[in-house]
Structure 1
Amino acid sequence: MPTSRTPDASAESAAARPAGGVQSLERAFDLLERMADAGGEVGLSELSATSGLPLPTIHRLMRTLVACGYVRQQPNRRYALGPRLIRLGESASRLLGTWARPHLARLVEATGETANMALLDGDEVVYVAQVPSKHSMRMFTEVGRRVLPHSTGVGKALLAGAPPEEVRALLARTGMPAATARTLTTPEAFLGALEEVRRLGYAVDDNEQEVGVRCLAVPVPDSPTAAAISISGPAGRVTEEAVTTIVPVLQQVAEELSAELAASGQPG
């Protein structure tokens, strides 16, 4: 889930800005991220309070973002993230999947099972990359497929760090339909599963999305957007005994992918 920004973050970023950085650009992107943290819609006074920037500066930046289509002004005078960001997000998601594929291929080689990468997009989980197992009996999830978080291992991994009240609000919006007899269908059960994820360091989908299929998932630490990787396979292969060998590989690959994403975000 997004990390809240402190009011002095703009000053900190200005201090850390490399030579040649453009302050107005940094401030504009900071405001966009603050809007995302706030759920996508804010008022100017809220942005001023959280960013520490004066209202005239924020108003000038928001006018520019509105003119470019990255922000829109609502009838209630509040500002919302604009439709042009969707194309950027879709392109970035595809690129993220491209970066992930070599890491997922390592997972397949090490575990023998299908490897996936998923993001949290709004209230849904979307799969952005997959490398299939070489077994004739294997799991296949179409890239671009969207599922509800409560019935998947990646969903649990993605939400494990979220405050309980945010998780409850999400579940209230999506509902908790049962995909199988094993699906968790109450907020209490799901919150209990998230506590287990935090304790163990990994998530399990035990026949909850599809009968006969088990998945193991871990979050990608420090990802710029909430991301998780997983392996999935027949329950007869992804056994309790196999967990002890698969999970360390998952965690190592997640750390390596995190490092690559961090490096890609550094100025050249």
Structure 2
Amino acid sequence: MDEHVKKAKRKYNVPAVDSAFKILTLLSRKKFSKSNLTEIANALSLTPTTCYRILQKLEELSVVRYDQSSKRYSLGPYLVVLGERAKENILDLSVIMPYLERLTEETGLTSFLVNRIGEKKSTIIAKVEAEQFGINVSVGRHFSIVDGAYGKCLLANLRREEAKRLIDYNDGLRPLTEKEMKELLAELEMIKIKGFAISHGEYIDGLIGIAAPIFNNTNTVEMSISLVGLTSQLQGAEAERIGELIKGIANEITIKLGGERPLV
């Protein structure tokens, strides 16, 4: 099959499916967890008629719930079933969770498993909170691929041209200056060599993140594991030590998943 045809097929978009997914994603956010038709339509730039038809179908399938008294929509009960089935069928998660627990126990920091979603986003799919200091970020929270140490790990293992293109979108938690974007791009090669990344409050003041990539069985990176804590907890050599620790654990996970960290 011609390569252009293959690409066209991969990029083909079904508007109703795309809009339905955007509605579910919107309702998963705290700010929009209970929203009326107008709020949903405006937030997603949908016509009220289109939005209403999709919501009706989602309600019929019990993936969206409609409260007659408040006239507001929220996520529906069948998503709980789907979520449990997904967890049962994701072998990667059952392999990785004990490592997150081990990391949190050994460091006293909150650990996360972050997965790339689509081209420009990543999301937290699991976390283990530290007892003394937990990070108030929910599983399912979406970020730009340029955000945090976990984003740096994803970017560092892409082709340089692709990484630059994603950085140039500049749609992270805070806009980067031209200088910061150049510095981030330059930093990626060293991250790839070291095998872990550190962010010192560049995105959220007072927080430090340390992350390492997990290579899947095609030797690409779709996931990274990350530790997050206060910058006052980790300084200099201690942050580097934690970086080596998390890299070692990420490499163990990589081997268990049938992947292999490439030589650089």
Over 3 Å counting, the alpha-carbon distance change for 1:250 and 1:94 in structure 2 is farther
- Structure 2 residue aligned with 1:38: none
* Identity across matched positions, percent: 21
In 2, are the aligned partners of 1:130 and 1:141 still within 8 Å (CA)?
Answer: no
Which runs of structure 2 are paired with 1:110-129 in the superposition (5 Å)? 110-122=106-118, 123-129=120-126
Query: Which portions of structure 1, spanning 4 or more consecutive aligned residues, are displaced by more than 6 angstroms?
Result: 81-84
Deviation at 1:236, TM superposition (A): 0.7
Over 3 Å counting, the alpha-carbon distance change for 1:80 and 1:151 in structure 2 is closer
Deviation at 1:244, TM superposition (A): 3.5
- Structure 2 residue aligned with 1:175: 170
Over 3 Å counting, the alpha-carbon distance change for 1:93 and 1:129 in structure 2 is farther
- Structure 2 residue aligned with 1:194: 188
Deviation at 1:211, TM superposition (A): 0.6
SS at match of 1:150: coil
Deviation at 1:193, TM superposition (A): 2.0
Over 3 Å counting, the alpha-carbon distance change for 1:194 and 1:99 in structure 2 is same
1:163-202 Cα offsets, whole Å, 9 max, x none, are 1211122233x3245638xx66643122112123123321
1:72-97 Cα offsets, whole Å, 9 max, x none, are x99xxx4236779x999x93798233
- RMSD over aligned Cα, in angstroms? 3.3
User: For the residues of structure 2 that align with 1:156 and 1:223, how far apart are their CA atoms?
Assistant: 21
In 2, are the aligned partners of 1:153 and 1:203 still within 8 Å (CA)?
Answer: yes
1:89-122 Cα offsets, whole Å, 9 max, x none, are x937982334321110000111110011111112
- Structure 1 residue aligned with 2:69: none
What TM-score, normalized by structure 2, do the two folds share?
0.61
1:30-84 Cα offsets, whole Å, 9 max, x none, are xxxxxxxxxxxxxx31289xxxxxxxxxxxxxxxxxxxxxxxx99xxx4236779
- Structure 2 residue aligned with 1:214: 208
Paired residues, number: 187
User: For the residues of structure 1 that align with 2:243 and 2:134, how far apart are their CA atoms?
Assistant: 19
In 1, are the aligned partners of 2:143 and 2:173 still within 8 Å (CA)?
Answer: no
1:256 aligns with 2:252: yes
What TM-score, normalized by structure 1, do the two folds share?
0.60
- Structure 2 residue aligned with 1:102: 98
User: For the residues of structure 2 that align with 1:197 and 1:184, how far apart are their CA atoms?
Assistant: 21
Structure 2: 5+ residue runs without aligned partners?
22-81, 260-264
Over 3 Å counting, the alpha-carbon distance change for 1:203 and 1:244 in structure 2 is closer
- Structure 1 residue aligned with 2:222: 226
Letter in 2 for 1:80: R
Over 3 Å counting, the alpha-carbon distance change for 1:236 and 1:148 in structure 2 is same
